[in-house]
Amino acid sequence: MNLQELSFREALRAAMREEMEKDPQVFLLGEDIGVYGGNFNVTKGLQEEFGKERVVETPISESTIVGMGAGAAMTGLRPVVEIMFADFITLGMDSLVNHAAKFHYLSKGKVDIPMVVRLPSGAGTGAGSQHSQSFEAWFCNVPGLIVAAPGTPAQAKGLLKAAIRNNNPVIFIEYKKLYDTIGPVPREDNYIIPLEESYVERKGSDVTIVTWGPSLHVVKKAAGKLSEEGISVEIINPLTLYPMDMKPIYESVKKTSRLIIVHEGQKTGGVGGEIAAKIAENDAFNYLDSPILRVAGKDIPVPVAKPLEDEMAPGVADVIDAVYKTVGLS
């Protein structure tokens, strides 16, 4: 496979460029995504390349932006909507939840909504409690939406291309901590990571850790340290949070007999709780030798001060402590 080193944001840009070149129905929609290149420079240069009719600057109105995207998708276009910060999707929830997510069902399957909503999410930039939240659990509670959350540049490209080609509305979670991360990305314009599949990121035998987004990198660091102590960690990454492919998780739990779930979003009502519940409903539960543990964001507004912001989200030490607990070392 022909690889190139790209940042997470460059991989997203490459995915959109390739899909816009391939399909004239694909266009971009959002605030400041043209000349300015988007709030996080993800769409930089695309308006110059494809023109103002395909990279459309919008008013500062998230309700309008999401509504325009849903309406365009109903006509057969394939909009990729950017919300400047995920927090601002609250202003577009009616268009998203009550309309975009429901049109296919209400039309008896006659109307598709091939729309992607890109959401720069999470903490790590010191932007405070109104610009740093992780809302993935909200969207996993809405039938009709697909929720995707890549953790590496390669995943960002392959998953976004799959989302753009999908005929359902996809919430595409882009954790802001990841934009500057760099990694190998396939050059091929047909490189796709299918939606609704979970991946084994690291094989292990002592404990299963399910994680995604920026927490994937935290867990990988923890797993490396633990391996030096003779503790083998298996890491499962559900790139699509809803609908989630649980099969690799079930199989891993049956092998390791222990499960920890790590995510940046708040612990209460988080996606981790749903994973734990599904394990409890499956025969994998009978293989557990210790309680399921969740290592997640604290149930507080995201602080501005970096030391407090770092403390809010799970860190390497938190993951290691949870592993010690589940294997009986603390």
Q: Catalytic residues, which ones?
A: 62, 131
DSSP reduced 3-state for 211:
strand
- Identify whether the C-beta of residue 211 lies closer than 8 Å to the C-beta of residue 262: yes
- Helix, strand, coil % in the chain, rounded to nearest 5: 40, 20, 40
Amino acid of residue 325: K
Residue 265 in contact with residue 137, Cβ under 8 Å? yes
Contact 272, 296 (CB under 8 A): yes
Helix (H) or strand (E) holding 152: none
CB 40 within 8 A of CB 9: yes
Residue 240: closest CA among 163, 135, 141, 133: 163
CA distance 117 to 69: 9
User: Where would I find the H helices in 39-143?
Assistant: 46-50, 62-74, 93, 103-106, 136-139
258, two tokens: 């222990």
How long a stretch of residues is the chain? 330
Cα 236 to Cα 254: distance, rounded to the nearest angstrom: 13
Of 222, 118, 238, 230, nearest to 179 by C-alpha is: 118
Q: How many CA atoms lie within 13 A of 162 on its CB side?
A: 22
**Cα–Cα dist 42/32, whole Å:** 11
Least Cα distance to 146 among 197, 106, 185 occurs for 197
